[in-house]
Structure 1
């Protein structure tokens, strides 16, 4: 079993972070199931680690059941128990939990949770839901990505209805769902995934993401002049992030003669493909902590064409850095970007419209400034402790509801 370790993720400096505990939350015993808690860094597991850190600071007990690897991307927050998993075909950096496993089952019985939280609809998640239902324990599911949209990026769009049906069966066996944005929550309601759906939004660490992180010397070190207007991409370099749409849009800007630079932040299996499509872009690889804040603040506009996010952490991080955002009109972005106020929302895949929106920012410094300032102001609404308290209160509500019906 992995021992609790201090996460490298900074925690917000609130009274609760200083050591005060909430007596109601100290009664919680949370069994959290994750298909990827810390072996590959992404927005979903960053949020889960922050949640666990918050719960532990409130005196709650938490156990995480997830695949454990020899060299994870970052230290885990909390105690981990390994579940059996296999590498994903063609994406070996990811692992698919294939069972709950005897060790995890014995640990669950000994830990005796009073609520189960599942964060991915994999086999271990299904088994965890069954385990909880057999014991009349409440189950909360958190939705972190649009799994139903993934097949279209691999020429498998025909299986989307089947995948949606499988997800519906999984989520309906849970007592409630939390989604990171109101737009995603509405999609889940429309798909009839569950009838108890509330928000678990996302926060932004303003010690890392703020306009003061902008660094012209760092830009110059990557071949970007002070007067260059930088269009940035931030995220894992995989096709489902809309890399093809991004590249096609940049091609159109180049053809139309609008001078700009492209900055790509991130790593992933599609990096070679993306570099071949954008030969003049500055690829700076993975950035973390203050380095990431510096890279984001050094953009002039973020271009996020992805439709798979349920929230869009990268969008919020750019907003906190006073960077306007051009994004696909999709779940997540719709809850953060106010069209023509702090960025632009464009129909997914509409390359010409994306190019036109980017053109306005490339050619209008005053517009960039005004929309960037509006985005920074909106980002102030997203504080991590308040957001995670909402999840904890959902745990308590579900426990009370179960107790009433026993």
Structure 2
């Protein structure tokens, strides 16, 4: 029997995030008789390390701030040691280090993944041109939604083999539950109407705008509560202070990162995804699998999972005023929250199952490994 093909993922870390969540979900579902998996973390491991089974190896290279030739040489050594069948990089930094390290010896097929839209600083200057230079080093490039693929192509990024593989969610793990019990478990009033956000406090997530919008409308909706889960990130202190000082601060609930977020989703009536930069939101898929409808902005991928008037709402969410206006419309139709939640679960079951996502990656790994076989003995 032939040895399993080794897939080496290269990331900055396994700290909680949408991309990291997808990596773990896929790695856990690959057939171990066909694939072995190793993760190279350029900087540190992270909390998602605990979600990986012992059969998956993890190497931490200890990169510190700035460009690190030492980390590049460590990665080169890891490539030489492991001789992977396929290298899978995620976002620009890991692509840069891997392209440099992989170019110094026998080349393994390089699959590069783009998981979100470009940040403002990536849309210009050396970061923009670095992607343009590095794409030809890749055997294939993938995005996590079809709209994200079109977005990158419109930005001038092309590759002969550029495809999309849609994110998926574990619909057995994330399911509708007892809403009253979930709220009691996390200290929310059972009769509340709960708006939620899931994710670390980063500027691009627009927590500040959502919090301001909540303060604008909370006086008109006395049972309305705001649940913010994942309270860390560069804006943690700003959001915490704003929540405490607002006129309805007692109805704003902040919780740190949750290893098991299921009861928090189950406690929600509506998840808000107001990010200015998305690929295809894992939080939105987890909420939908939990029977919770989503109000999402116009960032990439959202229109692929949300059908307005059926399983959620799409709107321009770039200011507190626009968010407040849209929330008023959502809350004016309480029966729609329940109906849309059921439709959201059906959408996930039909099109966004994690098993289907893992199967698509497995097929791509299989094809790339076969392509690389002439260069090294398997």
Aligned residues of 1:84 and 1:99 also touching (Cα < 8 A): no
- The answer to whether residue 25 in structure 2 is matched with residue 50 in structure 1 is yes
RCO comparison, higher one (Cα < 8 Å, 6+): 2
Offset at residue 71 of structure 1 (A): 6.8
1:126-164 alpha-carbon deviations (Å, 9 max, x no partner): 242244345343210011233x2255xxxxxxx732233
Offset at residue 111 of structure 1 (A): 2.0
**1-structure distance, mates of 2:61, 2:272:** 37
Residue of structure 2 in register with 1:353 after alignment: 322
- The answer to whether residue 64 in structure 2 is matched with residue 86 in structure 1 is yes
Secondary structure of 1:302's counterpart equals strand
Aligned residues of 1:33 and 1:64 also touching (Cα < 8 A): yes
Residue of structure 1 in register with 2:254 after alignment: 283
- TM-score, normalising length: structure 2: 0.85
Offset at residue 62 of structure 1 (A): 2.8
- The answer to whether residue 35 in structure 2 is matched with residue 60 in structure 1 is yes
Aligned residues of 2:44 and 2:61 also touching (Cα < 8 A): no
- The answer to whether residue 307 in structure 2 is matched with residue 344 in structure 1 is no
1:307 alignment partner, one of 276, 299, 313: 276
1:114 alignment partner, one of 85, 90, 94: 85
Residue of structure 2 in register with 1:92 after alignment: none
2:300 alignment partner, one of 309, 331, 334: 331
Offset at residue 284 of structure 1 (A): 2.5
- TM-score, normalising length: structure 1: 0.80
**1-structure distance, mates of 2:278, 2:68:** 22
Residue of structure 1 in register with 2:12 after alignment: 35
Q: 1:297 to 1:243 in 2, by over 3 A?
A: same
- Unaligned 5+ segments in structure 2 are none
Number of residues of Structure 1 aligned to a counterpart in Structure 2: 361
Offset at residue 226 of structure 1 (A): 2.7
Residue of structure 2 in register with 1:160 after alignment: 123
Offset at residue 217 of structure 1 (A): 4.1
Secondary structure of 1:278's counterpart equals helix
Offset at residue 253 of structure 1 (A): 1.7
Offset at residue 312 of structure 1 (A): 0.2
Deviates more, 1:164-173 or 1:233-242: 164-173
**2-structure distance, mates of 1:118, 1:99:** 19
| 1:3-402 → structure 2 map (5 Å cutoff) | 27-36=4-13, 38=14, 40-55=15-30, 57-67=32-42, 69=44, 72=47, 74-75=49-50, 76-77=52-53, 78-87=56-65, 99-122=70-93, 125-133=95-103, 134-146=105-117, 148-149=118-119, 151=121, 160-162=123-125, 163-195=127-159, 196-212=161-177, 214-220=178-184, 224-254=188-218, 257-259=220-222, 260-269=224-233, 270-279=235-244, 280=249, 281-289=252-260, 292-380=261-349, 381-401=351-371
Secondary structure of 1:211's counterpart equals coil
Secondary structure of 2:209's counterpart equals helix
Offset at residue 106 of structure 1 (A): 2.9
**2-structure distance, mates of 1:71, 1:298:** 27
Aligned residues of 1:219 and 1:226 also touching (Cα < 8 A): yes
Secondary structure of 2:64's counterpart equals strand
Secondary structure of 1:193's counterpart equals coil
**2-structure distance, mates of 1:165, 1:42:** 26
Secondary structure of 2:30's counterpart equals helix
Offset at residue 390 of structure 1 (A): 1.0
Aligned residues of 1:32 and 1:116 also touching (Cα < 8 A): yes
- Unaligned 5+ segments in structure 1 are 1-22, 89-95, 152-158
Aligned residues of 2:4 and 2:32 also touching (Cα < 8 A): no
